[in-house]
Amino acid sequence: MAFISPALLLLLAMSVFPLLWALYLSFTDYSATRGGPAHFIGFGNYTAILASAQVHQRALTTLIYVVGAVTLQTVLGFAIAYLISRRTHGRGLLTTLFLVPMMLSPVVVGLFWRFMLDAQFGVINSMLGSLGLGQVEWLTRQRTALISLIVVDTWQWTPFIMLIALAGLTAVPKYLYEAASIDRASEWFRFRTITLPLVWPLLLIAVLFRAIEAFRLFDLVYILTNGGPGVSTETLSFHVYKVAFLGFNTGTASAYGILMVLVVIVLTQIYLRYLNKLKEG
């Protein structure tokens, strides 16, 4: 197929081939720098990773981060979309303004929040100070550092949920509301029986996208906390990076990466299946 094959070939060369290579390396003790041939060690890397307390800790951190960030931005994003959808004027302008954070590079977002969250001269603590509140160590305490990550991610990606929710909300046909208002249904009832069911599937797709993105988070951690304090904000992606580039344990890192890809694929499949069932039901 002359039109498809060039694209597929590139994807095979740049995505599939590297992945297969990683799959092969994941069964070896290969190191990209140490030299020497790779030795086949079966599932050694996989069992070591699955049994490692270090990995469990990163998995938990990642889970808290994904759930926290995605929940927060879904609630906020939907709320903003709902408020915007109820306005007659300035909808376009408002939407555009709210979308700015989403368009920025994670590098810019990370650096700038790091600057604003600085305990000593950051503007956030400065404003808290004017309100008579004490300094908060945003990036250097276990809890607050993880919360800061969640907040920054939420700041950047709430617009994403908002955008999609807004699409759903403006698509609700007027006649449905009119029918409901003739019935003198309460606002909450209308929201629950008309608005939400129509927006829900879209919102779930948005959540899926965000969850996948959040699961592989790396750059924000790299810049904002570097995984600290200690390793308490190290995500799975960040840990893979350390395994791959600090000790150059390429075999282990490959197995780690393959496991991450598997998790994404399996969870996505389950989720999509649920979504389709929801749609049919």
Partner 1 sequence: MRHSKRMGQVSAPGRKVQLATAAMLLVATTVAACGDGQDDGAKASAPKAPATIPELTKDPLTLSFIWFDWPPAHALEAFANAEYKKERPNATIKVNTVPNANWHDAMFTQFAARKTDFDIAILDSQHIGEAVTNGNILDITDFVKNNIDVEAYNPYLLAAYGQFPQAETGKRDENASLYGLPLLGDTWTMIYRKDLIGDKPPQTWDEMISVAERCQAEHPGVSGLAFHQANGSDAAAVTYNTVNGVYGGNLWDSKTRKIEGVLNDAAGHEAMDVLVNKMKPLTAKGSGNWFIDEVNAAVAQGKACIAFNWIAASGGLLDPKQSTLGTTREQILDKLGFATLPSQKTNLVPLGGMGMHVSAYSSTANQAEALNFMKWFERADIQKKWAAAGGVPSRTDALESPEFLNAGPFNQVYTDSVPRMRDMWNVPEYARLVDIENTNVNAALNGAKKPKDALDDIAKEQQRVLDSGSRKGGGGL
Partner 2 sequence: MAVSVDEAVSAGPVRDQTRPTRRLGGRGRSVLEIALLTVLAVVMLFPVLWMIETSIKENRDVYAVPAEFFGFTVTMEHFKDVFVAPGGGRSALSVAFLNSAVVAGVSTVLATVLGVPAAWAYSRFAVKARKDQLFFILSTRFMPPVVVVIPIFLMYRQVGLIDSKLGLILIYTAYNLPFTIWMMKGFVDEVPAEYEDAAMLDGYTRLQAFRRHTLPLLVPGIAATAVFALIFSWNEFVFAIFLTSSDSVRTAPPAIAGLIGGTTTDWGLVAAASVVFALPVLVFAYLVRKHLIAGVTLGAVRR
199 binds partner 1 (CB under 8 A): no
Interaction between residue 147 and partner 1 (CB under 8 A): no
Q: Whole-number minimum distance, CB 234 to partner 2, in Å? A: 12
d(CA 133, CA 136): 9
- In degrees rounded to 5, what are phi and psi of residue 257? -65, -45
- CA nearest 243: which of 15, 41, 22? 22
User: Could you tell me which stretch among 42-50, 60-68, 73-81, 98-106 binds partner 1 (CB under 8 A)?
Assistant: 42-50
Name which of 101 and 228 has its Cβ closer to partner 2.
101
* Residue 16 found at the interface with partner 1 (CB under 8 A): yes
| Sign of the C-alpha dihedral computed for residues 223, 224, 228 and 229 taken in this order | positive
Are 149 and 172 in contact, with CB atoms under 8 Å apart? no
Residue 107 CB contacts under 8 Å (≥ 6 apart), including other chains: 219, 223
Q: Residue from 92, 132, 230, 281 that binds partner 1 (CB under 8 A)?
A: 230
222/5 Cα distance (integer angstroms): 37
CB of 78 to partner 1, least distance (A): 34
Tokens coding 189:
């009832």
| Angle of the 53-85 helix axis to the 142-170 helix axis, nearest 10 | 40
**Which of the choices partner 1, partner 2, none does residue 193 contact, using the CB cut-off of 5 to 8 A by kind?**
none
Select from 80-88, 158-166, 203-211, 228-236 the region that touches partner 1 (CB under 8 A): 228-236
| Mask for 93-132, x = binds partner 1 (CB under 8 A) | -------------------------xxxx---x-------
Residue of 57, 59, 116, 137 interacting with partner 1 (CB under 8 A): 137
Specify the 3-state DSSP secondary structure of 44. helix
Q: Using CB under 8 A, which residues numbered 51 to 80 contact partner 1?
A: 52, 54-55
Partner whose binding site includes residue 257, from partner 2, partner 1, none (CB under 5 to 8 Å by kind): partner 2
Name the binder of 201 from partner 1, partner 2, none, CB < 5-8 A by kind.
Answer: partner 2
Q: Which is nearer to partner 2, 68 or 125 (CB)?
A: 125
Least separation in angstroms between residue 55's CB and partner 2 is 14
Cα→Cα distances 89→93, 165, 171, 175, 250, Å: 9, 18, 17, 21, 56
End-to-end alpha carbon distance in the chain:
38
Which residue blocks in the chain are alpha helix, DSSP H? 5-11, 17-25, 44-51, 53-85, 91-103, 106-116, 123-130, 142-170, 174-182, 187-190, 196-215, 219-224, 236-245, 250-280
Q: List the one residue from 115, 126, 129, 245 that touches partner 1 (CB under 8 A).
A: 245
Which part of the chain contacts partner 1 (CB under 8 A), choosing from 64-72, 103-111, 156-164, 227-235?
Answer: 227-235
Q: Which residue ranges make up the site for partner 1 (CB under 8 A)?
A: 1, 4-5, 8-9, 12, 16-17, 20-21, 24, 29, 31-39, 41-49, 52, 54-55, 118-121, 125, 135, 137-142, 225-232, 242-249, 251-253, 255
